[in-house]
Chains A and B, each alone.
Chain A
Amino acid sequence: MAVVAPGRVYRPDAVDASHSFMFNQIEGFVVGENITFADLKGVLEFFARSVFGKNIRMRFRPHFFPFTEPSAEADISCIICGGKGCSVCGRKGWLEILGAGMIHPNVFKNVGYPPKKYTGFAFGMGLDRIAMLKYGIDDIRLFFTNDARFLKQF
């Protein structure tokens, strides 16, 4: 089973250039009998190359999310400096774009899937953040101000 679910999401953040109480998230998962962490990497790397270009590099760092294990955060090589380090990537050469991981066996148990038979990966990413990186937009509020001079660029 492979599912992608985009939608508006909400959180109690005060609005500023990089925060919004409403934004867009794309989440998805793949569940099957032979789904592995290698598949997680392959699919998300394909996604990153499709959105940011085929020269983009991607790396996965261990992280913690309650519903996945092993969990990862994924970075792409900075699209501004190509990984050398600049102000956009905070001199690190990498930009964090999504969280992902192998679906936790407890999640399978809770929905009646035997965890010894099924594995799966799940991911979630902020669409607004990805659009900001891709197009070089420096203020998330521009997405919701709907200035015609902004809209006409897309």
Chain B
Amino acid sequence: MSITQKSGGGDEAATATNAADGESEELGAAGAQLSTQPADTLAQTPGLGVVGWLRWMWRQLTSMRVALILLFMLSLAAIPGSLIPQHSDQLKVDAFQQKHPTITPLYERLGMFHVYSSPWFSAIYILLFVSLAGCIVPRTWQFVGQLRSRPPATPRHLTRLPAYSTWRTDATPEQVSAAAERALRGRRFRVSTTGTSVAGEKGYLREAGNLMFHVALFGLLIAFAATSLEGAQGGKLIVEGDGFTNNPTQYDDFSGGTLYGKSDLQPFGFSLDSFDATYATSGPERGSGRTFRANIHYWTGPDGKPTKGEISVNHPLSIGGEKVYLISHGYAPVVTVKDARGNVAYQGAVPFLPQDTLGTATGVVKVPDALDKNGKPDEMAFRGIFTPTFALDKVRGPHSSFPALDYPALILNAYHGDLGIDAGLPQNVYQLDTTHMTQLKEPDGELVSKALKPGDTMTLPDGRGSLRFDGIKTWASFTVSHQAGNEAALVSGAAAILGLMGSLFIQRRRIWVRAVPSGDGDTLVEMGGLGRSESARIADEIGDVALQLQPDAPAKPDPDPDPDPDEADAATGDVPAPDSRPGDSAPQPADEGARA
């Protein structure tokens, strides 16, 4: 058994490149087309004329290198959107813009507040997907071609393959090739036999997986598009005891995709009966939520019967084909405001929005219908905070120390003047525009500021009226979402993962076996293998196949059982260094470290 031994493992990709260029003359068709990866053609200069340039540009765009650069740019471009508030959270954007007035115009121009729909972000991913299409279409055809053709014929010099084995046997070449064919078929190789040469190939699923993965990326893109075009969502804050019908006018905010308008809304509704919340009462996370549950009644159709239901975080409710999610919750103090003439100018629950996890909430009571002593309109407003569990300290002032209603208090300032509602601009009900309002002062000049317990009344100076803190209701806010593209996204995602696994875990490789009379009556069996990647494993596989052939083609004892490496050298002959990097030259003899 002749034994030659030459080198350690190789590098996945490098092997492929070897096969593709450096050694293609030696291996011929055998080494080619072991993948559908496009050859790098960037070095070529553009041909003449416009067509030549266009073709050159297309080739650039669809090259792996440009795909790589585009991927890199995509990840860079995604960064600003994670650090700068985005328009989906308008409150934060407003706060940011107020805080950074100098940079805001520039950011606005660059689309920094809506990065993921900005032209430059879109440009990158569109280019990437064009590149991807330009890449996978030809690769798919090439792959189909490879599937329909047979494994390439045995190369002349099997010794030049990354893994190689040979031995002499008494069996005839026909017996050996028949056995080899059986063995390779048994290992689920695709086999093609010419004379006494057997060629086998396996692992086509790698290529298929890779193509499937890249196609699935398109699926994801389409699903994303469907979601944003056909999906819609509306937000609604409901105070305990109130109801909601799925009607455009009822939403606090509504955003529908281009293909989904307000007229597509399903008829249904629900009412909030009560809201249950429990909180950790001790421990390090004291005050953080433990259960949040909205108890509701819902109905479908114009006159459906109300059914009891509940909505909690992670457990949305499906009503009439739409899904209703619980988003947040809080308290709404119930107040009665009397104006200067003693008439009730406002009565009702006013939702206050929580500002921290312990329930400190801010809110505004707007009283547009108030009259002054003379019966002239004099709008009133109250602004302040609500604390479910009142606490006071020097640094933070009044705040809440626990989110449950243990010691509720309402702390308000009072204003009068013009609310600005008549200006016709839509107003945020949670914010007070004080440009045309004056804050009320006590006779001693102090600003009016009162902390009220439920049942308390604050009387305004100068007989301007009063506000009574009647009680507290809970509120919850919901997102009603019409969903589209979910299934497509899920299926594409699953296909992407499967494709990836095929692409990364399956090795595509070829094994050739040739049996020829050696001239002295023996048969010389030669076996070589070439992997699209990873040569260590192909060597093991060759060893396994060789072992499997032993019963049919037993190896004869080797005349020289322990050939020295120099002989091995002679056997393989003049192997050109495939790559002329300095690293490829032989290690310096003086240098024991090279082998250390």
Q: A and B: real partners? A: no
Q: Which residues in A have some Cβ–Cβ distance to B below 8 Å?
A: none
